[in-house]
Amino acid sequence: MKSIPSTSYSVHFNEHCYKELNAYLEASNFSKIFILVDENTHTHCLPKFLSNIDSDLALEIIEMEAGEVHKTLETCHQIWQSLSDLDGDRKSLIINLGGGVVTDLGGFVASTFKRGVRFINVPTSLLSMVDASVGGKTGVDLGTIKNQIGVINFSDMVLVDVSFLETLPAEEMRSGLAEMLKHGLIKDANYWSRLCKLKTLNSSDLGGLIHESIVIKNEVVKRDPNEQGERKQLNFGHTLGHAIESYCLDNEAMQTLLHGEAIAAGMIMEGYLSVKTCGLSERELNEIKNTFKSIYGSVDFTENDKSSIIELLKYDKKNSHGQVKYALLESIGSCKVDILVDDELIHEAFSFYAQ
């Protein structure tokens, strides 16, 4: 698969990615390499990764606990402390080997340790390959509010080895697929249709589609790296999706939702808002709803849940001047940003989702 050039770095694939990494290590003047893993990637991905590194540089492994609940400043503190205890300096390189939590948090740790050290993302989940590791967004949650603390800072390279997906549970594959479907919905109707026809989710069938998703996201990021306009399209489904995800994280009575499961619900509801405000057709809305429901099922929300989720919308990062702003669809493949929506329509969107 061809490398994808981005703003200041490239995304490399499969065997070729290790050649690029080793050439880069050889040509750079790093003092030491730190590899950040969680307990899952430590067991399942690190051995393969290490067997492909060809470098004499000193290497330290730092392990964090897996899961969204650990995407916190406390975890960052522990890692900053480990870097310091292990003599990390400004010429250290941090390699983030993991899913979206590891690449987001590791990128933030690197961007702030000693005012910034270089880092490389090696995504091991589908979600992180097609979204989190690409595009420079780094950060952590504040309480249960997603990604409230962070900076945009690009990695030196992204290395996508799709064979890591072979160790991923099916629900994690489905979670990543939601971001790929989103890429089709906002930019490419043909890509959406092809994804809808997928019968199985395995690394060999997905390779080319992962490449296409990264190309779609990367083109948007190159045009608008700091999310002043077009990049907001990548948030389709995420305004309600993030609020739903935060609410479920914080409520023991609710089932814990993976990111993709939450934004799938968000995309159905924001599809409804798209019909009401941006001209999306009823036919396309029903296609979107049927597709997501067939893959992700449905979450039950009580009246109380709905009100609490709507309350959480005020923390969304895209808001300004006290207004909640949405990225919504005009049609499958075309998206508009900065759309204001009445609370009444959001209640209707929940009802549409529940039917």
Report residue 261 as tokens: 């499961």
Q: How far apart are CA 162 and CA 123, in angstroms?
A: 9
* Closest residue to bound ligand GLY by CB: 234
DSSP state of 320: B
Helix (H/G/I), strand (E/B), else coil: 289: helix
Question: What are the respective helix, strand and coil percentages of the chain, to the nearest 5?
Answer: 55, 20, 25
Amino acid sitting at position 80:
W
Question: Binding to ligand GLY by residue 42, rule CB under 6 A?
Answer: no
Q: How far apart are CA 291 and CA 130, in angstroms?
A: 20
**Mask of contacts with ligand GLY, 181-220, x by CB under 6 A?**
----------------------------------------
Closest residue by Cα to residue 257 from 267, 269, 270, 242: 242
Q: How many residues bind ligand GLY (CB under 6 A)?
A: 5
Contact predicate 188/220, CB 8 Å = no
Minimum gap (Å) between residue 327 Cβ and ligand GLY: 10
Question: Binding to ligand GLY by residue 137, rule CB under 6 A?
Answer: yes
Minimum gap (Å) between residue 88 Cβ and ligand GLY: 27
Question: Binding to ligand GLY by residue 316, rule CB under 6 A?
Answer: no
Contact segment (CB under 6 A) with ligand GLY among 46-54, 131-139, 190-198, 278-286 equals: 131-139
Contact segment (CB under 6 A) with ligand GLY among 53-61, 130-138, 280-288, 295-303 equals: 130-138
Nearer to ligand GLY, 131 or 305 (CB): 131
Question: Binding to ligand GLY by residue 176, rule CB under 6 A?
Answer: no
**Mask of contacts with ligand GLY, 233-272, x by CB under 6 A?**
-x--------------------------------------
Q: How far apart are CA 348 and CA 301, in angstroms?
A: 13
Minimum gap (Å) between residue 137 Cβ and ligand GLY: 5
Nearer to ligand GLY, 174 or 238 (CB): 238
Q: Which position among 88, 100, 106, 135 is part of the footprint of ligand GLY (CB under 6 A)?
A: 135
Long-range contacts formed by 72-79: CB under 8 A, 24+ apart: 72/140, 72/141, 73/140, 73/142, 73/149, 75/105, 75/140, 76/105, 76/108, 76/109, 76/112, 76/140, 79/36, 79/105, 79/106, 79/109
Q: What is the dihedral of CA 308, 340, 228, 223, to 10 degrees?
A: 110
Minimum gap (Å) between residue 227 Cβ and ligand GLY: 6
Question: Binding to ligand GLY by residue 231, rule CB under 6 A?
Answer: yes
Nearer to ligand GLY, 231 or 336 (CB): 231
- The rounded Cα 350 to chain-centroid distance in angstroms is 24
Binding site for ligand GLY (CB under 6 A): 131, 135, 137, 231, 234
